[in-house]
Structure 1
Amino acid sequence: MQRIDKYLSNLGLISRKDSNKFFKNNLLLVNNIIIKNKDFKVNFGDIITFLDQKIEVLEHIYILLNKPTGYVSSQVDEGGHKSFKHLLKNCIYKDLLHVVGRIDFDTTGFLLLTNNGDFTHNIINPKKNIFKKYLVNSEFELSKEDINKLISGVIIDGEITSTAKVEVISKNTIYLSISQGKFHQVKKMFEAINNKVISLKRVAIGNLELGDLKEGEWRYLNQDEIKKLFC
């Protein structure tokens, strides 16, 4: 349970300081009942009506965003680049969400968002062995030796990377699946084989794929899709 004024403040809809006027003017309803006390606590599943907008109080939220290039995975704008939140204009819960496994501003594709900290830990923990799949275009052609090195592990930042999976698309293009999430890992892996990443797109986590979700668009995930993340 959470106080209704705090919940609406966390959503970025009102400030707790200025919330009194909404209660005094009968502008807040929960399950179609007018709420006059800001100490009133909402429960998961409650429906808040605020300025004619209906908001369900959700315990956990899971969203898949197809991130375009130029957006950062941080909560605020950074380094001259906009936060991913600018792409969630129509999402009432955007201020409650954090990224599950950041990707660089110039990396596109699968960006997973949630308000569930335990879920995030399980996805990004390398011990859980959940693979993240990337479509990688490289500057130079990849030899069989290069592919074998990527699979067996290369040394980055003084440590050898865990075993990876590779699917060859062309001489310069592969699908690379890794269970770790080191800083700039894919780019550093290619540097370790004297190559360079030209473009990078995350296309899947676990067995959940980005699919036909258009760049810049987002959608909620259902329970069956969430289970696929752990397969």
Structure 2
Amino acid sequence: MRISKYIADTGYCSRREADKLLSERRVTVNGTPASVGTLFNEGDDVRVDGQTLQVRAKKAGRKHVYIAYNKPVGVTCTTESAIKGNIVDAIGHERRIFPIGRLDKDSEGLILLTSNGDIVNEILRYENGHEKEYLVGVNHEISPEFLTGMARGVIVHDQMTKPCRTSRLNKFAFRIILKQGLNRQIRLMAAAFGYRVKQLVRVRIDNIKLGHLKLGQWRNLTDVELKGLIPGRTEW
């Protein structure tokens, strides 16, 4: 396989990011700088900035893949291969996976993906009460009235948004926790008060946190995270 696919399979970064690392001559194979066309053979010693990479072992007993991905700005949450910068190509996973929900192209942060289509609707249903937490930077100073108004609800797409929780982070940033996911919801909510979102990062989906996962990297969900996401489910 190509060395970029091997790097992506380790979970270190996406294929696109791997190609960038290769072009910057930061990858070595058996001590020799690698290029985009370099092939990986079993037993090769692959390093990025001197750090040895190893493919992550698959979770025993699981039929499907469940991963957390730190999506960069510019990646589109679609499986359409014709769309440049689609999330499937960005991750480069060996299994056929698709996103659970969406995170718009101009936003970054945590998104979950899986190969299990049967579970998607179960996770997305509003009545399941899954929280989604975001850190948001805007172009005007945060006011108490703005936070209160956002928390109470705003008309978006001809419907009132559900009550949510908000808090001030600093002069131009706030935290918001939602239990629904309308298209571009936070941006449209903020716009209703005359604010423009400059940066939007999702840092948590229910019990699953972005943590120290680097931008462009992914990891497998743990058993504890899966059980917390859908309590009572025993087959994955």
TM norm structure 2: 0.68
> Which residue type is aligned with residue 121 of structure 2?
H
Q: Which residue of 2 aligns with 1:149?
A: 149
Distance in 1, matches of 2:130 and 2:230, equals 6
**Secondary structure of 1:214 counterpart:** coil
> Which residue type is aligned with residue 153 of structure 1?
G
Are 1:82 and 2:85 an aligned pair?
Answer: yes
Distance in 2, matches of 1:185 and 1:113, equals 21
Residue pair 1:67, 1:111 contacting (<8 A) in 2 also: yes
Residue pair 1:206, 1:230 contacting (<8 A) in 2 also: no
Are 1:65 and 2:73 an aligned pair?
Answer: no
Gap change, CA 1:230 and 1:206, over 3 Å in 2: farther
Deviations 1:32-64 (A, max 9, x none): xxxxxxxxxxxxxxxxxxx98x99895221001
Structure label with greater radius of gyration: 1
Residue pair 2:153, 2:162 contacting (<8 A) in 1 also: yes
Deviation at 1:167, TM superposition (A): 2.5
Q: Which residue of 2 aligns with 1:167?
A: 167
Residue pair 2:71, 2:110 contacting (<8 A) in 1 also: yes
Deviations 1:52-88 (A, max 9, x none): 8x99895221001111111100013566x41112232
Distance in 2, matches of 1:166 and 1:183, equals 19
Specify which structure has the higher proportion of strand: 1
Q: Which residue of 2 aligns with 1:158?
A: 158
> Which residue type is aligned with residue 91 of structure 2?
L
Gap change, CA 1:143 and 1:124, over 3 Å in 2: same
Distance in 2, matches of 1:132 and 1:205, equals 5
Deviations 1:144-199 (A, max 9, x none): 11100111111112211101111321121111111111111111110111111111
Give the total of aligned pairs. 177
State the 4+ residue runs in structure 1 displaced beyond 3 angstroms: 54-58, 228-231
Structure 2, unaligned runs of 5 or more: 1-40, 43-56, 232-236
Distance in 1, matches of 2:162 and 2:216, equals 31
Q: Which residue of 2 aligns with 1:216?
A: 216
Are 1:193 and 2:193 an aligned pair?
Answer: yes
Distance in 2, matches of 1:187 and 1:77, equals 27
**Secondary structure of 1:188 counterpart:** helix
Residue pair 1:151, 1:165 contacting (<8 A) in 2 also: yes
Distance in 1, matches of 2:161 and 2:110, equals 22
Gap change, CA 1:130 and 1:57, over 3 Å in 2: closer
Distance in 1, matches of 2:227 and 2:169, equals 28
> Which residue type is aligned with residue 152 of structure 1?
R
Distance in 2, matches of 1:78 and 1:171, equals 41
Distance in 2, matches of 1:160 and 1:72, equals 26
Deviation at 1:125, TM superposition (A): 1.1
Distance in 1, matches of 2:113 and 2:209, equals 15
Residue pair 1:76, 1:82 contacting (<8 A) in 2 also: no
> Which residue type is aligned with residue 122 of structure 1?
E
TM norm structure 1: 0.70
Distance in 2, matches of 1:154 and 1:219, equals 35
Residue pair 1:76, 1:83 contacting (<8 A) in 2 also: yes
Q: Name the stretch that deviates more: 219-228 or 128-137.
A: 219-228
Overall identity of the aligned pairs, in %: 30
